[in-house]
Structure 1
Amino acid sequence: MTEGASQALPCDPGSESRIDPYGFQIHHDLASYQEMRSEYVAVLARRSTRWSKLLQEKPQVEKNLTVKRFVRKGVPNEHRARIWMVASGAQEELERRPGYYHSLLALEHDSKLKETIQMDMHRTFPDNVLFGNRAEPSLQRALYNVLLAYGHHNKAVGYCQGMNFIAGYLIIITRDDQKSFWLMDALLSRILPDYYSPAMLGLKTDQGVLGQLVKAKAPAVGQLMAQFPGVWTLVASRWFICLYVDVLPIETVLRVWDCLFYEGSKVLFRVALTLVVRHQPEILRARSLPDVCACFKQITSGAFTLDCHTFMQKIFTEPGSLSMTTIDKMRDKCRQQILEEESGQS
């Protein structure tokens, strides 16, 4: 899979009523999904026209209020790879180090790294027709290459579970393993540092930050959750480590990622807070830890998250103001607390 590879699907999922445009089986109520898609296709057509006009006028894709507004309203699939690459700095890295990705694949590969990645291949989107053995070409080879190259590129991280789902989504959108590699690098090195390192300090920190934000934005839920030590690890670690892949519907995840690449990691908190604030009554009915876990699993599905356009509007209104400065201060405090606790235990 190379630069300029075809954007067409290896097979035509439109021929199967239970397969979505990204190759996944539709697990939602089919009638609800088709109704949402028919309305959303009209929205996408309007957005596509406006994006095409914007990119003709300003092909360099600057970061400004107009582009930010466009990104929040959704990037059409035909422009997604380009916008993600530019907004995240991945394009700049690719151009600065031409041939680097392919040089990593040419290295002698660590046998343990190969074995660990290979074990997760069949677990990555087993119901997606694009990754199946019968797909032509199958995206599984591109997925393996991206993860292998990244393992050599970032030896401190190597490979850990969760990365396969992120790389898989990137490949579905870009259809280009080299671009997917540099987008992975943007996510793991700059946007979400220390999420995937062995100590996972970044992930632990952000779970703590989410807990503090919930206390401030939804105090009753914060009070309930405080009864269960370590609860945020149970209910939100998968949200963050997989960047909502296999948690929210795919079209919603892609809309979240549009903003994640453009605006940074605060978007992850906006999504989490919106889910909590919106579903306070259901969460507050929980009487035990299993109740809480079941409720947090339930609130990520249904009509609210399936309607990606409305959902994305809500994440920028329902949680209220949320600046990167505030998050960074909270991160510093939570990180320090975690390090002190861990040093006290050793």
Structure 2
Amino acid sequence: DLPRTFPTHPWLDTPEGQATLRRVLVGYSFRDSEVGYCQGLNYVAALLLLVMQTEEDAFWMLAVLLENVLVNDCYTDNLSGCHVEQRVFKDLLAKKCPRIAAHLEAIGFDVSLVATEWFLCLFSKCLPSETTMRVWDVLFNEGAKVLFQVALAIFKMKEEELLTAHQIGDAINILQAASHHLYDPDELLTVCFDKIGSLTTNTITKQRKKQEPTVMAELDQRLRRLNSVKQYDEQ
């Protein structure tokens, strides 16, 4: 993943930059063996390296993000925390943007097709870097609920276009183009807090607890199927 992490950046596209990024990621994998390394962390760590003074500072900021800011189990092997976040986001979209949610469901669009990357990379891969930094400022200050507000805002800002989409691919293209061209962080954050409205941590926590049993049951069922296939192949 190292060569694919912001490959056009003049420092990250050098042996020195990639070696520094590798050290931060490997270092954290030793700190938390349950997380180890997960795709998405490379973008988060890379952006931290670009704004922090030393790789040690970037390492500790990465630790704070994963251990104190974000929900548990987002980056573990089965991504259970991320699956929970996607279900919570789907419910929030239905409440905050019911027209969009109903239309996307009608065309068979699953929000996780775009939102999984958003949440795992903390928007660093899709938003312009300056906008991402503004989002992260709020993320560190107010917690993981901000990820839901930003995701909802992107959908809200493209509501009329999304309502005209009749194919899954069209919806994906609209959302990807929207996020890549959000050069005005003030506009995005205004929609987050003025048009989407506030989301409390308690609300998000309750929604997570509601979704966790379903997610864990699905993951357990998937694991049993994989084990059955493995046993069949061995026979």
Which of the residues 10, 26, 38 maps onto 1:129? 10
Q: Deviations over 1:46-75 (max 9, x none)?
A: xxxxxxxxxxxxxxxxxxxxxxxxxxxxxx
Q: Structure 2: how far apart are the matches of 1:254 and 1:213?
A: 24
Deviations 1:126-152 (A, max 9, x none): 110122338xxx433321111111111
Look up the match of 2:201: 324
1:216 aligns with 2:95: yes
Matching of residues 76-87 of structure 1 within 5 Å: none
Aligned with residue 233 of structure 1, among 99, 112, 118? 112
Q: Is the 8 A contact 2:73 2:80 kept in 1?
A: yes
Quick one: which of 243, 257, 265 aligns to 2:122?
243
Given the alignment of the two structures, is residue 313 of structure 1 paired with residue 190 of structure 2, yes or no?
A: yes
Which letter maps to 2:197?
A: G
The alignment's C-alpha RMSD in Å is: 1.7
CA contact (8 A) 2:158 2:175 kept: no
Find out whether 1:282 has 2:161 as its counterpart: yes
1:139 equivalent in structure 2 = 17
**Counterpart secondary structure, 1:159:** coil
2:26 aligned residue (133, 137, 148):
148
Higher helix share: 2
Is the partner of 1:300 in helix, strand or coil? Answer: helix
Instruction: Please list, as runs of the form range in 1=range in 2, the aligned pairs for 1:33-112 lying within 5 A after superposition.
Output: none
Amino acid at match of 2:156: V
Change beyond 3 A, Cα 1:176–1:281: same
Q: Aligned in 2, Cα 1:260/1:208: closer, same or farther, shift over 3 Å?
A: same
Gapped runs of 5+ residues in structure 1?
A: 1-119
Query: Following the alignment from structure 1 to structure 2, what is the Cα–Cα distance between the partners of residues 339 and 231?
Result: 19
Shift of 1:338: 1.2
| 1:326-346, Cα deviation, whole Å (9 max, x unpaired) | 111111111122123334553
- Whether contact under 8 Å (1:195, 1:201) holds in the other structure is yes
Paired residues of 2:88 and 2:211 also in contact (CA < 8 A): yes
Q: Identify the residue that residue 44 of structure 1 maps to in structure 2.
A: none
User: What TM-score does the superposition give when structure 1 sets the normalisation length?
Assistant: 0.61
Larger Rg, first or second structure (1 or 2): 1
CA–CA distance in 1 between the matches of 2:195 and 2:47? Answer: 27
% identity of equivalent residues: 33
Cα distance in 1 for partners of 2:41, 2:187 equals: 28
Aligned length: 222
In 2, are the aligned partners of 1:139 and 1:171 still within 8 Å (CA)?
Answer: no
Q: Aligned pair 1:170/2:48, yes or no?
A: yes
SS for the counterpart of 2:4 is: coil
> Counterparts of 1:240 and 1:330 in 2: how far apart (Å)?
16
Alpha-carbon separation, structure 2, partners of 1:336 and 1:207: 14
Change in 2 beyond 3 A, CA 1:229/1:191: farther
Deviates more, 1:264-273 or 1:225-234: 225-234
CA 1:129–1:139: 2 relative to 1, 3 Å: same
**Residues in 2 aligned to 1:131 and 1:181: alpha-carbon distance in whole angstroms:** 16
Residues 306 and 236 of structure 1, relative CA distance in 2, 3 Å threshold: same
1:86-113 CA distances to partner (integer Å, 9 max, x unpaired)?
A: xxxxxxxxxxxxxxxxxxxxxxxxxxxx
Q: Is the 8 A contact 1:208 1:232 kept in 2?
A: no
Deviation at 1:296, TM superposition (A): 1.8
Q: Hey, what's the Cα distance between the residues in 2 that align with 1:321 and 1:339?
A: 29
The alignment's TM-score, normalised by the length of structure 2, stands at: 0.88
Gaps of 5+ in 2: 225-235
